[in-house]
Structures are given as C-alpha cells and as structure tokens.
Amino acid sequence: MAVKVSARGQIDPFIVMDVMREANAMAATGEDIVHLEVGQPGTPAPERVLEAAERALRDNRLGYTDAMGIPQLRERIAEHYVVMYGVDVSPERVVVTTGSSGAFLLAFLGAFDSGDKVALAAPGYPSYRNILSALGIEPVVFETRLADRYQPTPGLLSERAADLDGLIVASPSNPTGTMIGGAEMAALTAHCRDRGVRFISDEIYHGITYGHESVTALAYDDEAVIINSFSKYFSMTGWRLGWMIVPDSMLRSVECLTQNLFISPPTLSQHAAVAAFDSHDELRAKVAKYARNREILLSELPKVGFDKLAPADGAFYVYADVAQLTNDSPDFCRRMLAEARVATTPGLDFDPYRGNSFVRFSFAGTEDDMRQAIDRLGDWRPGS
C-alpha cells in the first residue's frame, strides 16, 4: 500500500524559481545568460552591514536569540517608522522574521483559520495564494485593471466578494511596480476596518520608488499587519531576514508560532542588520542605479516589440502585456531563454487568469545587463 503524501504540497510552483534553475543550469554549461527573471538586487549588502557581520563572527555572537528578535534590531526598526513615516511604533510590536516569507506564514497563521477567505489582487505575488492554499485558507483572487493601476479598490471589493476575512495589498507591487497613494490607502483600510477584515500590507519594496512616496498602512490602521524585508531596499536577499509590525491583539499568538516554527531568526543577519539603518546614503545610491535601469527598459523595450508596459512606480519590475506576441507566456519565456539567452518570468506566475499574455522583466541587475538584454531581444525579434 502506498504511503500517504499530504495534499498541502500540491500547490502551484513559484515559476520564477523554476526559470532561475533552468537559467543557472544553462549558465553552468557555459552559456552567457542575462538574468532579468529574479527580483534580486545586483548590488551587495551595505558596507556597514558587512562590517557588523564580521564583528559578530569574531565575537562568536551566533547563539539563539529571542524568538521575536534581538532588542537592538527591534528598536531600530521601530525608530525607522518614526523617521520614515512619522508613525510611532512600540518595539514590542516588532517581530523579526526569517525573511518576509516567514512573516507571511506567521501573519496568515496568526490572523486566519482554515476555511477563512482572504482577498488578493491579480496580478500579484504568487506565494500569497500558494501559502494560503497550503494552510487551508481560501485565496479570493481579484482581477485588477490597468485603469486602477492593478491595485484593489473598495469598489472592486464590494462588487466581487462578501464575507472576506482578510485582504493582502502590496505597494509597490510585484510584478507591476504600481503603488497605492495616501488617499487610496486610507479608503482601503477604512473599507476593511468597517467590515472587520484583517488588512495585511506587504511593504517590502518601500524605499525603491521613482518620484513617488511610500505610504505605510500603519499610518491609517493600527490593527493592520505590516510586512517588510531586508532583501530588497537593503540589498540583503540571502541573509533571510524580514520583519512584521503586529497589532497587540495578535502579538502573543505570533510569538508562540515563531517560537515553535523558527525558534529565532538568523542570528548573524540580525546583528548585521542593525547597521543597515545607518546606510541610507549608500542605499539611495543603489536605488539611483535601479532608476537608470528602469529608464533603459521603459525607453528601449517598446523599440524591440514590448510596447504595452505597466507604470513602474516602484520596485524593480516592468510588467509587459505581450498579447500581440503570444497567448502562452511560459512557452514564450522558454523560447526567449533558449534563443535569445535572456531569462524572464511568465505572467502566469502572477496572474492565473490573464498571465498567459504577460511577461515580467526585472531590472534589479546591472546597467550592462539591461543593455545586453535589449540588444539580444532586438536581434531575436519576438513574434517574427
């Protein structure tokens, strides 16, 4: 008799990771691949972070920490909200996590029960719906519109769903890079608060914006769960460190969950991350590099056949409508990789309904990567 395998793992893959694996395998054979698939900064961690990590290693400060994180880091994160947003946050409400991925797991387990319904936008980060599904929570996916900058609105929520238990928003968004302004955030949080809907705000791309100010949901809803990360703006992807701001009503639940699931976040990364908040000058210079990459793609992609682009207000992605070129974005991206040696992510990863007609380009790499990609795509002539 066959041994049972849990149905929890029978979820959709995170396609971008499959693309990266295939691109890396090609590179290992000597192929010259331009990586525009993964949202990983092409810049190193800040110098002060590296120095702090070296000190922590020398001092052998690598044992378990408090489950919620070391006090110094929780205090610096709380201070960050005062400096960046003018919002007072008690350090006791700060939960340091094993990446934002650990934060999503803790947030969903702490806020929702099996069978609850949680709304999220399409296109959107695929791991939201996949983690929810694995936990037995029902993802309610809304097809958002370019007219609304691919963001949910109170009207859309009222029109298409009832009895929601939660809403996840992301600003700047992955994959579109679009953002929610203050008035829109106020309206969304009020809509949820009036209906007892838990608001979860993914703010991991805050700091990486182009002419727009990042707005934290915490300024409008003290019961919102805020999720952020050291991976993107702070350029620390492999350090696997993130954080949450949790309302008092959820704090003990999240503490018990993180004690049992993770024991504590990565210790070396925590000691190093304290110095990240003293590195804004260096970090802003990194964002300026992304801005140059963004300008290259926005100006040059239309010249090589990709002329329907979402507004990239923040993050480091360009989301392209390629309906005139394909109705099978996974196959299109496979051909682009095999024939042009440019790795990109099919829109199906982010939108299970319309994603076959979209492709995401990441401009987190170097300026040379962007220019090489444009040259190769021009020679490839998509759709020919």
Instruction: Please say if the pLDDT value at position 172 is more than 70.
Output: yes
Instruction: Please say if the pLDDT value at position 336 is more than 60.
Output: yes
H/E element, 143: strand 138-143
pLDDT of residue 157: 87
pLDDT of residue 160: 66
pLDDT, greater one: 19 or 132: 132
What CATH number matches the domain at 7-45+280-380, 3.40.640.10, 3.60.10.10, 1.20.1260.10, 3.20.20.70? 3.40.640.10
pLDDT of residue 322: 96
Same fold for the domain at 7-45+280-380 and the one at 48-278?
A: yes
pLDDT of residue 383: 52
Backbone angles phi, psi at 244, to 5 degrees: -130, 150
Q: Is 321 exposed, middle or buried (0-12, 13-18, 19+ CB in 10 A)?
A: middle
Interval 86-94 mean pLDDT: 97
pLDDT of residue 243: 98
Domain ranges of the chain: 7-45+280-380, 48-278
Q: What span, in angstroms and rounded, lies between the C-alpha atoms of 381 and 373?
A: 12
97-143 tens-digit pLDDT: 999 999 999 999 999 999 999 999 999 999 999 999 999 999 999 99
Instruction: Please say if the pLDDT value at position 382 is more than 80.
Output: no
pLDDT of residue 13: 74
Q: Express as a percent the part of the chain with pLDDT over 90.
A: 85
42 band by pLDDT with thresholds 50, 70 and 90: confident
237-273 tens-digit pLDDT: 999 999 999 999 999 999 999 999 999 999 999 999 9
Token readout for 382 is 């998509």
pLDDT of residue 40: 87
Instruction: Please say if the pLDDT value at position 300 is more than 80.
Output: yes
195-252 tens-digit pLDDT: 999 999 999 999 999 999 999 999 999 999 999 999 999 999 999 999 999 999 999 9
Assess contact for 172 and 178: CB atoms under 8 A. Answer: yes
Backbone angles phi, psi at 95, to 5 degrees: -120, 115
Instruction: Please say if the pLDDT value at position 94 is more than 80.
Output: yes
Residue identified by tokens 């993802």 is: 139
14 band by pLDDT with thresholds 50, 70 and 90: confident
- Class of 48-278 in CATH: alpha beta
61 band by pLDDT with thresholds 50, 70 and 90: confident
Q: What span, in angstroms and rounded, lies between the C-alpha atoms of 377 and 374?
A: 5
Assess contact for 45 and 239: CB atoms under 8 A. Answer: yes
82 band by pLDDT with thresholds 50, 70 and 90: very high
Q: Express as a percent the part of the chain with pLDDT over 70.
A: 98
